[in-house]
Chain A
């Protein structure tokens, strides 16, 4: 047991020594690329989870709504991946990032990778994530990087709609029947441990913020909480703020159990049939 085993699940400190191993690795060379990869992966994984609601939402109209939101997020990721490939020096395209990276190379927070719960769980997640995204994309609209600012400007209109959609549902569920109130309140409690990660200032975001490209995640915290609190108040829900534990590690490629299953489902066609087109 004294010799470290080269496993796809163990972070390797000598990727360069392994032929081909670094090809689809994270974007460690450029801090800007590493920062943007976190944002793109959040959007990509959240899109995958939301798309699971197709045919599973309360009504077909809600299937469409969540599918549209998923497509917006997919579009945000697709806009960022090729740009990340151009600045991290690997020249990778969107399929390389989305379909050919292993779990340890993903930089999304744990919030977006958690399994689909009930509808209240999804609305709690969407409320927090879109409130965070509204503040994030607002700040990134002023990025010193023109591409980042452009993607953020377009995304801002989309995520405002996502926040609106989640807010309407949370208010209706919180203010609806005894049953819907109980389940919405429980969902707010269940999502709580995954929120702190959104506001962690990791090395890549500190550097990107220093360059004027990105924004310090911690600087978004108060505004995001204020947005969610307004919705919770209107919904006569209590916003819980005291979690006995918190998730961490997503931005460093350490993920929770559901992530591997998500990637297996999302990537298996592309990996089973390399280069296939349709």
Chain B
């Protein structure tokens, strides 16, 4: 194991552009019954490793019982530029909130 020959140093210019591992987004479910929540992102060569890296990076303090990983490139996200037209029209439509009902006292979960 020792005595591994070290390859001669090469000039940076001689190297092909370094190919980095793709980026994955990680979603962790904290416990049964909860939804998966975005925890962060990481690099991994493929899905199997993305899952294991996520386990090592995001659940090492018992944060989760389930992990999803998704290629970041596969996520279509809303654009910050469209924020106004996407979300503001909902602001004055309070009738969409279920706040006009009287909830009986003995209904626990609502």
Seen from chain A, the residues whose Cβ lies within 8 Å of a Cβ on chain B are 59-62, 64-65, 68, 114-118, 121, 125, 164-165, 168, 172, 187, 190-191, 194, 258
Q: List the A side residues contacting B57 at CB < 8 Å.
A: 61, 64
B43 at the interface (CB under 8 A from A): yes
Q: List the B side residues contacting A68 at CB < 8 Å.
A: 56, 60
B52 at the interface (CB under 8 A from A): yes
Is there contact, CB below 8 Å, between A168 and B4? no
Given that A61-B42, A61-B57, A68-B56 are known contacts, is A168 also in contact with B2, CB under 8 Å in the complex? no
Tell me the chain B residues, 4-53 only, with Cβ under 8 Å from chain A.
4, 21, 42-46, 48-49, 52-53
What bracket does the count of chain B residues touching chain A fall in?
Answer: 10 to 19
Task: Give CA–CA (A194, B56) in the complex, Å.
Answer: 29
Given that A118-B4, A194-B1 are known contacts, is A172 also in contact with B45, CB under 8 Å in the complex? yes
Q: How far is the CB of A216 from chain B (nearest CB, A)?
A: 27
Q: Pick from A64, A114, A165, A187: contact of B2, CB below 8 A.
A: A114
Is there contact, CB below 8 Å, between B49 and A168? yes
Is there contact, CB below 8 Å, between A168 and B1? no
Q: List the A side residues contacting B48 at CB < 8 Å.
A: 168
Is there contact, CB below 8 Å, between A117 and B52? no
Is there contact, CB below 8 Å, between A117 and B1? yes
Task: Give CA–CA (A192, B4) in the complex, Å.
Answer: 15
Q: List the A side residues contacting B52 at CB < 8 Å.
A: 65, 164-165, 168
Is there contact, CB below 8 Å, between A191 and B1? yes
Is there contact, CB below 8 Å, between A65 and B1? no
Task: Give CA–CA (A97, B44) in the complex, Å.
Answer: 38
Is there contact, CB below 8 Å, between A121 and B53? no
Is there contact, CB below 8 Å, between B4 and A121? yes
Is there contact, CB below 8 Å, between B2 and A117? yes
Q: List the A side residues contacting B21 at CB < 8 Å.
A: 59
Given that A59-B21, A168-B49, A172-B45 are known contacts, is A121 also in contact with B1, CB under 8 Å in the complex? yes
Tell me the chain B residues, 44-85 only, with Cβ under 8 Å from chain A.
44-46, 48-49, 52-53, 56-57, 60
Task: Give CA–CA (A233, B1) in the complex, Å.
Answer: 22
Q: How far is the CB of B93 from chain A (nearest CB, A)?
A: 44
Task: Give CA–CA (A131, B53) in the complex, Å.
Answer: 21
Closest to B58 in A: A64
Q: How far is the CB of A212 from chain B (nearest CB, A)?
A: 34
Q: List the B side residues contacting A190 at CB < 8 Å.
A: 1, 4
Q: List the B side residues contacting A59 at CB < 8 Å.
A: 21, 43
Q: List the A side residues contacting B46 at CB < 8 Å.
A: 172
Is there contact, CB below 8 Å, between A115 and B56? no
Is there contact, CB below 8 Å, between B49 and A258? no
Q: List the B side residues contacting A62 at CB < 8 Å.
A: 53
Given contact pairs A118-B4, A121-B1, A168-B48, enumerate 4 new A-B contacts (beta carbons under 8 Å): A61-B42, A64-B60, A116-B1, A258-B2
